[in-house]
């Protein structure tokens, strides 16, 4: 069975959107490894026991914590958040990656010919 490039791309986009959409509802709310490490370095989390209290000078990293605020922390956008923000982030990410990959293949194809 032969399929065209357009059918292949549309099929790939549909599959990516389905998997991404389902992943939003199956994802854990717990911090991942990178976020957990950042919390530890900032002194908001310890490897064992309770988290240190704010302002505790003996807590690891509290005095030299790195301040950074993400543009859309936890995918919240103004009044919207939760699953709506997650779905918008997934959709936007899929579109951006698709556009970059498509643009890169067009540039490579143009240089070949």
28-87 tens-digit pLDDT:
777 777 888 888 888 777 766 555 555 555 555 444 555 666 665 665 555 555 678 778
Are residues 111 and 78 both part of a single domain? yes
Are residues 79 and 110 both part of a single domain? yes
Are residues 38 and 26 both part of a single domain? no
Give the sign of the dihedral formed by CA 100, CA 83, CA 37, CA 62: positive
Q: Are 43 and 60 in contact (CB under 8 A)?
A: yes
Query: Strand ranges (DSSP E) for the chain?
Result: none
Are residues 18 and 36 both part of a single domain? no
Q: Which two tokens stand for residue 91?
A: 């959709």
The greatest distance separating any two alpha carbons of the chain, rounded to the nearest whole angstrom, comes to: 68
Are residues 78 and 111 both part of a single domain? yes
Q: In which domain, by residue range, is 13 found? A: 1-30+74-113
Are residues 26 and 81 both part of a single domain? yes
Q: What is the pTM of this model?
A: 0.54
Q: Are 25 and 87 in contact (CB under 8 A)?
A: no
Are residues 89 and 79 both part of a single domain? yes
Are residues 35 and 23 both part of a single domain? no
75: left (phi over 0), alpha (psi -120 to 50) or beta: left
From CA 42, how far away is CA 62, in angstroms rounded? 5
Q: How many domains does the chain have?
A: 2
Are residues 37 and 25 both part of a single domain? no
């Amino acid at each position: 069975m032969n399929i065209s490039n357009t059918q292949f791309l549309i099929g790939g986009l549909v599959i990516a959107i389905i998997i991404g959409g389902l992943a939003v509802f199956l994802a854990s709310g717990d911090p991942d490894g990178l976020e957990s490490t950042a919390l530890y370095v900032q002194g908001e989390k310890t490897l064992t026991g309770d988290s240190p209290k704010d302002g505790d000078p003996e807590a690891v990293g509290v005095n030299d914590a790195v301040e950074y605020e993400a543009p859309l922390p936890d995918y919240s956008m103004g009044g919207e958040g939760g699953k709506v923000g997650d779905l918008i982030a997934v959709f936007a990410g899929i579109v951006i990656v698709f556009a970059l990959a498509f643009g890169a293949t067009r540039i490579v194809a143009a240089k070949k010919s």
